[in-house]
Amino acid sequence: MEISRIGLIFLFLLSLLILVSSLRQRPRANSKKKRPPGPWALPFVGSIHHMVTSQPQAALRELADKHGPVMYLRLGQTDTVIVSSPAAAQEVLQANDLDFASRPCLIGPGIICYGNLDVAFAPYGSYWRALRKLCTIELLSARKVRHFASYRERQTMSLVAEIRATAAAAAAAGANKPKPVNIRGLLVSCTNTITSLATFGDVCSQERKEQFLSAVAVALNHSMGFCVSDMFPSLWFVDVVTGVTRRLWRAHRQLDELFDKIIEDCEQRRKERKVKSGGGEDEAAAENDLLSIMLRVRDEEDLEFPFNNTNIKAIIFDLFTGGTETISSLAEWVMSELMRHPGEMAKAQAEVREAFNNINPHHHESCMDRLHYTRMVIKETLRLHPPLPLLLPRLCRNTCDIGGFEITKGSRVIINAWAIARSPMYWDNAEEFRPARFENTMAEYRGTEFYYLPFGSGRRMCPGSGFGMATLELIVARLLYYFDWSLPGKMLPEEVNMETIVGSTARRRNQLHLVATPYDVPIEM
């Protein structure tokens, strides 16, 4: 999260007006355990000035090199601990997972997600445990991910067809230079549609889907922005005066109105289905989308936790956050790295074309286990470009020990997954793109190896990683199978801009544009 310089100047000037020495928190003289070391802090604003950068994960790694893998920062009025090593991450995410199983209450997600009723930001307790169970058993189980294979197959082939049409149009126009395609725009459209079909089925009109996706993008942008009251709870009025709170509530209302319309459409479809079946249809067997599942769960009489339309709306927002932003961004990073490394591109492409040769496109996903090197390419991309360089913050529920230091109750703990994945202590030539490094490693997406945490670990690990990876792998495989790729103009591989901007996910700062030359294989067989 980038903190604006104007906001920092405002806070600094404010600190000069209300400077009181008692605001400076000092370790207690009689404390048996010491607080983690950290950089110098200013009165009132604390260590925020160290975070004035578009790359907070890199700034925190530099500070950790000086102060250690368990580091204390006072960000405004909040105690924050940054964890930057696998050993310390294991203590937080495994050994003391229950002590760090909750989330701090942040203004943006709190407003957008109906008071943190979603899976990502709900505080730890019986409600969150019930939501997690719902996700792992009903919504995002391995069986359900397989069930959505037809949506992935259909939409990734639409992606291929759209790219081919662009190339054909340029050729028909007699263009001297092939027309580059906007990879990001196509990927966002593809992942949006896959997530929409999995969530709503065919209940939404195209117009309503577009309205909804636009509202999600606005809400996501606002919810992940900097709010003064997240670090200065006593200055909540600043967000009101600057209009931050007003913009959040406006985005929430717009999204809520569309949620109501979509749920109403789905309810009508369920009624029509029951009428057609004469009331004898097994509702669970007829469910082809996640919204129908949640509505059925809502109507069950033996629920042990509150679950109504408001809860459903909060969960849907999570599904779109992870299913569109994250996957489209990762696919763009994969293609960026392969364009910078033509040798790796050639190896992955040869593997895909051998595996898919003479295979009906409808069966491509069943061949994914043959793509060992391509999967290593994706793993290496996730190592260098994790979707959340700084994992979502955790809240310390009980004072405990991490790395020999005392972490007090109420502290926020942030895992710097980006720094851990680039540590030279655990990775040879850590800054280089080398997919083959995963040939003989135990590192997977499941969060069991704490030097590789692209989706987190422990109780609060991303529950949708299986759905996301199935989509990502098929997108990448089909882009490599159906097209030869080149850079526009006379651009060299080393000139591909790899600057990152961190928002709701870590994206390329600039959109990726590439020239696609169709490979001579049929789309249908």
pLDDT in tens, 64-106: 999 999 999 999 999 999 999 999 999 999 999 999 999 999 9
Confidence of residue 7 (pLDDT cuts 50, 70, 90): low
Q: Evaluate whether the domain defined by 31-80+89-518 bears CATH number 3.40.50.300.
A: no
Question: By mean pLDDT, which of 67-71, 212-216, 390-394, 479-483 is the weakest?
Answer: 212-216
Distance, C-alpha 4 to centroid of its chain = 23
What pLDDT sits at residue 524?
72
C-alpha dihedral, 70 to 73 to 78 to 84, nearest 10°: -30
pLDDT band at residue 27, thresholds of 50, 70 and 90?
Answer: very low
| Domain ranges, ordered by start, for the chain | 31-80+89-518
Q: Residue 197: CA atoms inside 13 Å, Cβ hemisphere, count?
A: 18
For residue 471, pLDDT over 50 is answered with yes
CA separation, residue 262 to residues 30, 188, 190, 204, 292 (Å): 58, 21, 20, 7, 11
**Extended beta strands in 219-317, E state:** none
pLDDT, residue 13, reads 53
Q: Crossing angle of helices 244-277/206-223, nearest 10°?
A: 150
How many whole angstroms separate alpha carbon 122 and alpha carbon 126? 10
Residue 31 has pLDDT above 60, yes or no: no
| Per-residue pLDDT band at 2 (split at 50, 70, 90) | very low
d(CA 330, CA 482): 19
Alpha-carbon torsion 17, 18, 21, 25, what sign?
negative
pLDDT band at 21 (very low <50, low <70, confident <90, very high): very low
Going by pLDDT thresholds of 50, 70 and 90, the confidence category of residue 114 is very high
Poorest-pLDDT segment among 37-51, 114-128, 266-280, 492-506 = 266-280
Q: Is 462 annotated as a binding residue?
A: yes
Residue where the block lists tokens 């997919």: 435
Give residue 287's pLDDT.
74
- Per-position DSSP letters for 45-109, written without gaps between them: TBTGGGG-SS-HHHHHHHHHHHH-SEEEEEETTEEEEEE-SHHHHHIIIIITGGGG-B----HHH
Which residue stretches of 385-431 are H helix?
Answer: 417-421
Q: How do beta strands 412-415 and 78-83 pair?
A: parallel
Q: Which two tokens stand for residue 521?
A: 């294989």
DSSP H or E run through 489: none
Residue 157: name the closest of 373, 442, 364 by CA. 364
Rounded CA separation 445/103 (Å): 22
Distance separating alpha carbons of residues 485 and 398, to the nearest angstrom: 53
